[in-house]
Amino acid sequence: MGRPMTSQRVAAQMRLDRIDLRLEDASPELSVMVDASGTHLITGHALEPVIVATIRPEAAEVDRELILHAIDDLRWLRSTYARLAARYRKLVGEPEPEPRKAGNYAAQCAMMCDRQAFRNYLATVLGKDVSDGERVRVAVHEALSIASRKELNTDPAATRRWQNLLGDFEAWERTGR
């Protein structure tokens, strides 16, 4: 029997979950390219690189190093945290958390689309037209790069995009817009 989940612990876990989802979705291999305009983090192959970020030549060396290693450092930190959390749970006799069951994200999305606060978020933050239900549906499909809400239950990448969007909305809502 674990400790009860306080709202603070729930919020922290949700943030960790969103970090994990972003790390899963991020390009697995980034490399560095340097030219006259700066140091670039790139993905893809050398013939057709996609610049993810540019660090200008006038940036301080310590800032350049922080940015260039941020993703690898974050992956290492999450891995280390997961191992330490497992050791802590074992020490205090707390059971391992059960794997999360997949939810009906399509239904969740449909319910969220009926909420005025979510519509306000789509309009204000994403600049979407939400003047009627059909436009809200189209706005969400565009924001998530899906053709149907059913994909939220069948495509793990679409699920992650939905969870990230929902997390961003919840953060926006908590900060008072």
At residue 99 the predicted structure's pLDDT band, cuts being 50, 70 and 90, is: low
pLDDT for residue 100: 56
Which tokens in the block code for residue 67? 């940015």
Closest CA to 126 of 143, 106, 144: 143
10 Å Cβ neighbour count for 25? 12
Residues in a beta bridge with 35: 38
Tell me which residue has tokens 């994990």: 20
Q: Catalogue the E-assigned strands of 24-163.
A: 31-35, 38-43, 50-55
Residues near 64 by Cβ (< 8 Å), separated by ≥ 6? 39, 55
At residue 1 the predicted structure's pLDDT band, cuts being 50, 70 and 90, is: very low
pLDDT for residue 102: 62
